[in-house]
Structure 1
Amino acid sequence: MASSSKRSWSMSTLPLDLIEEIFYRTPAESLVRAKPTCKEWYALVTSKRFIYYHLDRSPKRFIRTVDTVQILDPVTRTRSDSPIPNAFQEPYEIDTLVYCDGLMLCMCGHWSTFREEERYAHLAIWNPVLRQIRWIKPSKCFTCSDYYGIGYDSKKKCRDGYKILRFSDRRYDHWDFDYDGEPEVEVYEFKTRSWRSLDDAKVDWHVDIACKGVAVRGNMYWRAQKERTYILGFDFSVERFKDVCFSPPSAYDSYLACFDGDRLSLLQQDEESREIVVWVTDKLTDVDVSFTKYFTVSRPDVPALLFCSETAHPVYFIGKHKRIIAWSEGTEGERGTFCVFFTLYEIDESGLRKQTETERDSGHCSCRSFLCGYVYVPSLVPLP
Structure 2
Amino acid sequence: MVTVMELPNFHGGNQSLSDLPVEVLCEIFLKLPMRSLLSCKCVCKSFDELIKSPTFIASHVNHNSSSKTNTSCSVSILVIDGNYRDRSEHILIGTKDNSVTSIRRVRQSNPLTIPTSVIGSCNGLFCASLEMIGEQWGSHIILWNPVTRDNRYLPKPKIDAPERQLFPVFAFGYSPQSNEYKVVRFISYYSSGNITLPSPSDVFIMQIEVYKMSTDSWTVLDAKALPCDGPDHMSLESDPFLPLHFGHSTRTLFLKGAFHWLAVNPKNVTDVCVAVVAFDLEREELKLNSILEPRRILHAKKGQLEVINDLLGLIVPHSPTEYPPDFDIWLMNDYGNRESWTKHYVVEQSTGFARPCGYFKDDLLLMVDNDTDNSLFFYNLHTQERMYIFKYGQFYYEHSCSYVETLVPVSKRNVVAENADKVMNRQC
Question: What is the CA-CA distance between 1:361 and the residue it aligns to?
Answer: 2.0
Q: Which residue of 1 aligns with 2:213?
A: 190
Q: 1:134 aligns with which of 152, 156, 159?
A: 152
Ranked by relative contact order (alpha carbons within 8 Å, sequence separation 6 or more), the top structure is 2
Q: What is the total number of aligned residue pairs between the two structures?
A: 338
> Structure 1 unaligned runs (5+)?
1-5, 112-116, 176-181, 307-313, 333-339
- The one-letter code sitting in structure 1 at the alignment partner of 2:374 is F
**Corresponding residue for 1:310?**
none
**Structure 1 segment 93-242 matched on structure 2, within 5 A:** 93-110=115-132, 117-119=134-136, 121-137=139-155, 138-141=157-160, 145-154=167-176, 156=177, 160-170=179-189, 184-201=207-224, 202-226=241-265, 228-242=273-287
Counting only pairs closer than 5 Å after superposition, residues 326-341 of structure 1 correspond to structure 2 as: 326-332=366-372, 341=374
Equivalent position of 2:405 in the other structure: 378
Shift of 1:106: 1.1
CA–CA distance in structure 2, aligned partners of residues 164 and 131 of structure 1: 20
Q: CA deviation at 1:139?
A: 1.8
Question: How much is the aligned-residue C-alpha RMSD, in angstroms?
Answer: 3.8
Q: Deviations over 1:313-369 (max 9, x none)?
A: x4221533xx2331424245xxxxxxx7332223223422x321424125xxx45x6
Q: Deviations over 1:106-154 (max 9, x none)?
A: 122247xxxxx33363112222222222111122447773211223445
Determine which of 304, 310, 313 is the counterpart of 1:255. 304
Q: What SS does the corresponding residue of 2:60 show, helix, strand or coil?
A: helix
In 1, distance between residues paired with 2:400 and 2:95? 13
Q: Could you state the TM-score of these two structures normalised by the residue count of structure 2? A: 0.66
Residues 331 and 23 of structure 1: is their aligned pair in 2 closer, same or farther, counting only changes over 3 Å? farther
Equivalent of residue 295 in structure 1, options 316, 323, 344: 344
Partner amino acid, structure 1, of 2:127: L
For 1:268, the aligned partner's letter is: V
TM-score (norm 1): 0.72
Amino acid at match of 1:162: Y
1:356 aligns with 2:374: no
2:357 to 315, 323, 347: 315
Kindly indicate whether the alpha-carbon contact (under 8 Å) linking 2:121 and 2:173 is maintained by their aligned counterparts in 1. no
Q: Which residue of 1 aligns with 2:105?
A: 81
1:341, 1:357 within 8 Å by CA — same for their partners in 2? no
Q: Residues 153 and 61 (structure 1 numbering): CA distance in 2 closer, same or farther, change over 3 Å?
A: closer
Partners in 1 of 2:393 and 2:278 — Cα distance?
A: 37
For residue 36 of structure 1, give the secondary structure of its aligned residue in structure 2.
Answer: coil
Cα deviation 1:277-334 (Å, max 9, x = unaligned):
22223465xx64665325223645476432xxxxxxx4221533xx2331424245xx
Cα distance change on mapping 1:318 and 1:119 into 2, 3 Å = closer
Q: Per the alignment, do residues 299 and 162 of structure 1 end up closer, same or farther by CA in structure 2, a change over 3 Å counting? A: closer
> Does the 8 Å CA contact 2:210/2:220 hold for their aligned counterparts?
yes
Is contact 1:168-1:203 (8 Å) kept?
no
Q: How far off its partner does 1:12 sit?
A: 4.4
* Corresponding residue for residue 31 of structure 1: 37
Q: Which runs of 5+ in 2 are unaligned?
A: 1-6, 78-86, 196-204, 225-240, 266-270, 412-428
Answer yes or no: is the 8 Å Cα contact 1:28–1:378 preserved in 2. yes
Hey, what does 2:312 align to over in structure 1?
Answer: 264
The percent of aligned pairs where both chains have the same amino acid is 17
